[in-house]
Amino acid sequence: MVKNRPFLGTEVFLLKVAIVGGSLTEIKSRLDADAFTLSLRVIREALRDANLEAKDIDGILTTPPGYFTDPSDMDRFAPQRMGEYLYTNAKAQAMIDMGGMTSLAAVKYGAYEIMQGRCRTVLIYASEKYVSREKWNPQRHTYLIHLVNGIYGPHDRRYGVMRAAVYYAMAAQRYMYEYKVSREEIAHVPVVLRENASMNPKAQYREPITVEDVLNSRPVCPPLNLLDCCPVSEGGAAVILADEKTARNLGKDDCYIVGIGEAHDPTSFFPVYQSVTEIPSLRRATREALRHAGMSLRDIDVAEVYGPFSGTELMVYEEMGFYERGEAAKAVAEGRTKINGDTPINPSGGRLSFGHPPYVTPLAEIYEIVAQLRGEAGKRQVEDAEAGLVHAEHGMMNGNMVMIVKRR
């Protein structure tokens, strides 16, 4: 039985938050539906999963419509439009933006609405669509160049950086240098994630790969090769939260959010003053979420973490406390993070093989953890999974959010 605990050190009694429904499209490099259609599809499926109707929804929270979507699809009124389309009388509507952790931040907002008793049910949805090749004309091209390039800040944008891999590669290089980790050892990460993805029918890449495949794949930014990097992905996902009483009435009171942690470092991309191989905010966020849940890392049966590149994935495992610094590569190579290992991480296939539509990713992670806790994960089911962890970050691990979900 999930027990209520004083929240964030206060003695205020708050309502418990259940995850009563979820849905996820398949993840692909291209999906043949626009962002709004994808969103509608996942919303309807999530409502069905939760035994709810649209009119029962008290809160509608979403992300901006895709990171690099066509400017004409950039609807700044997305939640309003959805409220009108679903014909709800909501008590909370918002579009939230905080880089890669956006949809998890939206879930946190929704969870607070439920905890306070303002909303009984909150819908969080996201879809990710990229600008189509046909529409990629020079005028829009310039707009998108500025959008992509601008992510890296007023100084670095002058240097013409167009991909995050440049920075993540240098972080991986430092990690290898500081902890004497070899290129071959890191190559086990994509291999294990692909093995997990091969059991996930919704994953973008499912063909098994070997360490040699990773080492021989096209160099992107040394030391990172193509198979060390997350792909460009499209997809959609939705999650519905409810208070305990509503969840019970729906017959959907099996999974509860029991811990939330969030922390940010004073950095926005590559750190100017701090070490790039340490992520203090991830450690803080993990500790806060565990403290809130009254649990320790050993109580976590399965985790979905946000590692967009192989080297960073290892740093995430270590910073969260699963392994000592410099030890994660060895653990992965030994199979400890596999589904039947002692610390199963990213059974979905992770960002590298499941796919990575940034605004959707945190909701897809929740979807996977709920499937694991409900015992509905099929071939990739982690045995007796009772507690799961979800992680998201923004920038280059500059800020982190951790959520713990527990089976009743």
Partner 1 sequence: MERFFEELKNRRFVVPRCEECGKHIFPPRVFCPFCGSERLEWGEVSGRGTLYAYTTNKGGLHFREQTVGIVELEEGFRILSLIGRPLEELRIGQPVKLEFIEVETLEGKVTLHKFTPIPSQPQDSV
Q: What is the contact surface with partner 1 in residues (CB under 8 A)?
A: 142, 145-146, 149, 153-156, 158-163, 166, 169-171, 173-174, 177, 219-224, 266, 270-273, 276
Contact 106, 98 (CB under 8 A): no
Burial 218-254 (b: 16+ CB within 10 A, else e): eebbebbbebbbbbebbbbbbbbbbbbebbeebebbb
**Cα–Cα distance between 33 and 327 in angstroms, integer?**
43
Nearer to partner 1, 89 or 137 (CB): 137
Nearer to partner 1, 256 or 270 (CB): 270
Q: Whole-number minimum distance, CB 191 to partner 1, in Å?
A: 23
Q: Whole-number minimum distance, CB 368 to partner 1, in Å?
A: 31
Q: Whole-number minimum distance, CB 177 to partner 1, in Å?
A: 5
Nearer to partner 1, 165 or 203 (CB): 165
Q: Whole-number minimum distance, CB 158 to partner 1, in Å?
A: 6
- Amino acid type, 185: E
**Cα–Cα distance between 198 and 349 in angstroms, integer?**
8
Q: Whole-number minimum distance, CB 279 to partner 1, in Å?
A: 16
Structure tokens at 205: 């890449």
Nearer to partner 1, 331 or 396 (CB): 396
Q: Which residues fall within 8 angstroms of residue 401, CB to CB, at 6 or more apart?
A: 101, 104, 105, 108, 260, 261, 262, 285, 362, 391, 392, 393
Q: Whole-number minimum distance, CB 351 to partner 1, in Å?
A: 20
Identify the helix (H) or strand (E) that includes residue 402. strand 399-407
- State the DSSP code for 127: E
**Cα–Cα distance between 115 and 238 in angstroms, integer?**
20
Nearer to partner 1, 87 or 159 (CB): 159
Q: Whole-number minimum distance, CB 221 to partner 1, in Å?
A: 4
Nearer to partner 1, 161 or 239 (CB): 161
How many other CB atoms are found less than 10 A from the CB of residue 28? Answer: 17
Nearer to partner 1, 92 or 151 (CB): 151
